[in-house]
Amino acid sequence: MATVEKDSVSGQNTTGHEWDGIKELNTPLPKWWVYVFWATVVWAIGYWFMYPAWPLLNGYTQGSLGYSSRGELAMELDAQKKARSTWLSKIEASDTGAIEKDKDLLRYAMAGGKIAFNENCAPCHGAGGVGVAGAYPTLADDEWLWGGTLADIEQTIKYGVRNANKDTRVSEMPKFGVDGVLKADQIAAVADYVVSMANKAPAKGSAGETVFAENCAVCHGEDGSGQAALGAPALNNQIWLFVKGNKESVAAQVNNPKHGSMPAWAERLDASTIKMLAVYVHNLGGGK
């Protein structure tokens, strides 16, 4: 049986427990600590009643204050929306050309457009519109598939490219090889010619020039400068999207071309956001 005794040094009673000559003192907790402990217990009980706390089978206790973090976020977003409403109303009521001419609207549109771009466009086109070789075009140069004017950019953002929207931009390069339109030697010849055009030294009088004139010039232009109205890229420079600019990759594209797709953002974003995006993209460095 444990024997309680008084410690000769501290004057404190022991608990009666002893290990290898070491006795355990029965020292009470400091009063301030006890008060704080019970205060936290009272606080916790109050919190259970005031705030959402306990999970239930089909939900949770709501709390007498009716507080929720989602509700707080909704109120904050609503407050921000009201604060921005004046600027957004002006942007929605203006065309993109007028927005660029108004320095205050332009500053706001560029800031809003950058945020919208990073949230919606950067995953494909890269930060700052640098693009991804072999997949997504750069938006920071002066080379455009569907045109680089403000109206062109806004149209492309609104309705996208090759999607299910009835107003989407649509054009597809024929499968010259797969569909048997051109033979292997013709594809090789036209690939040679396209590469020579890209190097600013078109092989005049070659078999490839004849194949190009008969099959490709109607969309890409006789000089390979492209047609924005058809989404046909220029072939007379070293800017490539799906190919690497050598004969093999050009021939592969002629044989069985790749086609990109872009969502119709009018189905996801409001009109003012689309206008801000158009202005932002137009000012990335390559807007016409």
Is residue 110 one of the residues assigned to a domain? yes
- pTM > 0.75: no
206 and 226 co-located in one domain: yes
Judge whether residue 288 has pLDDT over 80: no
Judge whether residue 285 has pLDDT over 80: no
Is residue 118 one of the residues assigned to a domain? yes
- pLDDT value of position 1: 59
Which domain range does residue 145 map to? 86-167+262-282
Return the higher-pLDDT residue of 25 and 181. 181
b/e map 50-66, b = 16+ CB within 10 Å: eebeeeeeeeeeebeee
- pLDDT value of position 8: 79
Return the higher-pLDDT residue of 262 and 10. 262
Taking a C-beta distance cutoff of 8 angstroms, is the pair 205, 190 a contact? Answer: no
* Element containing residue 55 per DSSP (H, E): strand 55-56
- pLDDT value of position 2: 67
278 and 137 co-located in one domain: yes
Residue labelled with tokens 């010039």: 217
50 is in an annotated binding site: no
Tell me the per-residue pLDDT of 59-104, one tens digit each, with 9 for 90 and over.
888 889 988 888 889 999 888 888 888 899 999 999 999 999 999 9
Average pLDDT over residues 206-229: 96
Is residue 10 one of the residues assigned to a domain? yes
Last residue of a domain, one of 18, 49, 72: 72
92 and 163 co-located in one domain: yes
Last residue of a domain, one of 25, 40, 72: 72
Average pLDDT over residues 219-244: 94
4 and 68 co-located in one domain: yes
- pLDDT > 70 in the chain, percent: 99
- pLDDT value of position 206: 96
Residue 197's pLDDT band, with cuts at 50, 70 and 90, is: very high
102 and 243 co-located in one domain: no
282 is in an annotated binding site: no
Judge whether residue 175 has pLDDT over 70: yes
Return the higher-pLDDT residue of 110 and 12. 110
262 is in an annotated binding site: yes
173 is in an annotated binding site: yes
Return the higher-pLDDT residue of 187 and 67. 187
Average pLDDT over residues 8-34: 87
- Range in 49-53, 174-178, 198-202 the model is least confident about: 49-53
216 is in an annotated binding site: yes
- pLDDT value of position 107: 95
φ/ψ (deg, to 5) at 147:
100, 145
Alpha-carbon distance of 52 to 55, in angstroms, equals 9
191 and 245 co-located in one domain: yes
CATH number (domain holding residue 114): 1.10.760.10
CB neighbours of 224 closer than 8 A, spacing ≥ 6?
Answer: 194, 197, 198, 202, 212, 234, 235, 236
Tell me the per-residue pLDDT of 152-169, one tens digit each, with 9 for 90 and over.
999 999 999 999 999 999
Q: What is the mean pLDDT of the chain?
A: 93
CA-based torsion, 85, 86, 88, 89: positive or negative: positive
- Local structure of 247: helix, strand or coil: helix
58 and 115 co-located in one domain: no
